[in-house]
Amino acid sequence: MTQAQAKVNKAPAKTAITPTRAENFPEWYQGVIKAADLSENSPVRGCMVIKPYGYALWENIQRALDDKIKAVGVQNAYFPLLIPLSFISREAEHIDGFAKECAVVTHHRLEKGPKGNLIPSPDAELEEPFIIRPTSETIIGDSMAKWIQSYRDLPLLLNQWANVMRWEMRPRMFLRTTEFLWQEGHNAFATKQEAIDDMMKMLHVYNDVYENYLAIGGIMGEKTSDERFPGADNSITIEAMMQDGKALQACTSHNLGQHFAKSFNIQYQGTDGQMHTCHTTSWGFSTRSVGGLIMSHADDDGMVMPPKIAPHQVSIIPIVKDDGAAVIAHCQKLAARLKEKGIRVHLDASDARSSDKMWSAIKKGVPLRVEIGQREMDEGNLTHIRRDLGRDSKTTVGENEFIGTVQAVLDAMQADMLKRSRDFTRGNIHEMKTLADVDAFFKGDGVGFCKVDTNLTMNDPEGFKKLKSEHAISHRCMPFEDEGRKVLLGKSY
């Protein structure tokens, strides 16, 4: 037996995260968030504190998406957090959808109550309460109505990065929090076709970010009517499959038709001299994507960050004996060279033990870990390990060679992660002929989505309703590739 084999054999099966994915997926998910230092619960139920490392991740995602949004000609703006109650009531379906989860601001002053505690002052009750935005269609619609006069003002393409609130019964970190961060785009057009094209275009922008940055290969498709956004004619989505086979609605893009335009008088005078009602779209992408990232890629040792959005792409860990000043100085030079190449590099020069530094980098999902000890320094070498492949990928190379190939290594990891995500998703979509097959599938703890003819569930609403409640499944989407003939069914977050 070689030394290497002996080492592998006695290597502990211990994982950094307990329980493991197989043992308890929801608890594992929370364990990863904690171990990777992404976020934590706040004193306010349903809200979370996004910690610096988690926020750096969100900023990287945000930057990638923001650049693409601007590249298609959309302008950023900012609209108020508070929305007059009367606004939200104007679109009937919209209010039906959101009324249950709106936080309401009713007072503008506090005063000392009878027990010496602070209470909202009874004299300071607002005549018209405000709601905290659950989404901004209405208040942006109000502005659009003012800003659009002529066909020359169209299209009007607006986006805002904001926080929104939806009072959640069952919060889950990143996936469903009462307050969350997102971008919401709101565009107005002269014609129906332009709006439909825009809805489609923005979903493809999202898909670009999901595939090429988050390395998640989801399924683009249209929502069935029962899953549509309140107040939309069409809703389209990316449904991503998590490692436990459940679906995550990764983002949405809506064709709002003329519903909001009519409610808010978004009109333009056409070349014909007549007044016409606009067609609007809205599209959103939230911090939920971070939850999707975790459930797509993390493993039993913690987070795995796709290189393109990783806060640290390379973590350099000096393996030091005694004071190690020479090795650390050497690592600093290497870090500077990598930085020059545009690599986001983190040098762990803390006085923690080497093994602790390694595990910290593993749990945080740093794509590439670089280890340099005294002897390697003397020889001009370094050792690097890919996070997604683990110790099997441990490679020792010359430092100059590494500088030349590091970007390619990161690119390869990024590509591999996307491929694994796509293969997993495609491999767990099961085509079925009858609802009885679907029933049997979920009864047998089947993992993934079922794909059936759309008319199977549409023509048998009672049968589908039963299936839905028995297995907690729902229509996920009608994949574009099937042109509406097929629908995916699955459990979801």
Footprint (CB under 7 A) of RNA, residues 194-233: 227, 229-230
Does residue 115 bind RNA (CB under 7 A)? no
Q: Which of 39, 62, 252, 313 binds RNA (CB under 7 A)?
A: 252
Does residue 16 bind RNA (CB under 7 A)? yes
Q: Give the residues across from 165 on adjacent strands.
A: 179
Least Cβ distance, residue 272 to RNA (angstroms): 37
Tell me the window of 6-14, 185-193, 196-204, 304-312 that interacts with RNA (CB under 7 A).
6-14
Contact (CB, 8 A) for 93 and 259? yes
Q: Which of 472, 481, 484, 485 binds RNA (CB under 7 A)?
A: 472
For RNA, the closer of residues 198 and 301 by Cβ is 301
Does residue 186 bind RNA (CB under 7 A)? no
Ramachandran class of 269: left when φ > 0, alpha when ψ lies in -120 to 50, beta otherwise: beta
242 class by beta-carbon count within 10 Å (0-12 exposed, 13-18 middle, 19+ buried) = buried
Single out the residue of 66, 39, 43 nearest to residue 53, CA to CA: 39
Q: Give the residues across from 450 on adjacent strands.
A: 430, 489
For RNA, the closer of residues 31 and 155 by Cβ is 31
Single out the residue of 158, 162, 164 nearest to residue 177, CA to CA: 164
As a whole number of angstroms, the distance between CA 175 and CA 458 comes to 29
Contact (CB, 8 A) for 192 and 257? yes
Least Cβ distance, residue 284 to RNA (angstroms): 6
Least Cβ distance, residue 243 to RNA (angstroms): 14
Give the contact letters, 27-46, x = binds to RNA (CB under 7 A), - = no: x-xx----------x---xx
For RNA, the closer of residues 174 and 189 by Cβ is 174
Residues 391-420 that bind RNA (CB under 7 A): 391, 394, 396
Least Cβ distance, residue 383 to RNA (angstroms): 3
- Provide φ and ψ at 114, rounded to 5°: -60, -35
Helix (H) or strand (E) holding 65: helix 52-71
For RNA, the closer of residues 270 and 461 by Cβ is 461
Does residue 465 bind RNA (CB under 7 A)? no
Residues with Cβ < 8 Å from 204, sequence gap 6 or more?
A: 220
Does residue 385 bind RNA (CB under 7 A)? yes
Least Cβ distance, residue 12 to RNA (angstroms): 6
Dihedral sign for Cα 394, 422, 491, 198, please. Answer: positive
Helix (H) or strand (E) holding 204: helix 192-212
For RNA, the closer of residues 269 and 383 by Cβ is 383
Does residue 364 bind RNA (CB under 7 A)? no
Q: Which of 355, 405, 434, 459 binds RNA (CB under 7 A)?
A: 355
Does residue 176 bind RNA (CB under 7 A)? yes
As a whole number of angstroms, the distance between CA 268 and CA 259 comes to 15
Q: What angle, rounded to 10 degrees, do the helices at 25-35 and 354-364 form?
A: 120
Does residue 178 bind RNA (CB under 7 A)? yes
Least Cβ distance, residue 373 to RNA (angstroms): 2
- What is the DSSP code string of 362-419? HHHT-SEEEEEEHHHHHHTEEEEEETTTGGGG-EEEEHHHHHHHHHHHHHHHHHHHHH
Does residue 284 bind RNA (CB under 7 A)? yes
Residues 288-317 that bind RNA (CB under 7 A): 288, 301
As a whole number of angstroms, the distance between CA 474 and CA 440 comes to 16
Does residue 101 bind RNA (CB under 7 A)? yes
Least Cβ distance, residue 363 to RNA (angstroms): 7
Tell me the window of 59-67, 169-177, 275-283, 426-434 that interacts with RNA (CB under 7 A).
169-177
Residues 125-164 that bind RNA (CB under 7 A): none
Q: Which of 2, 274, 321, 462 binds RNA (CB under 7 A)?
A: 321
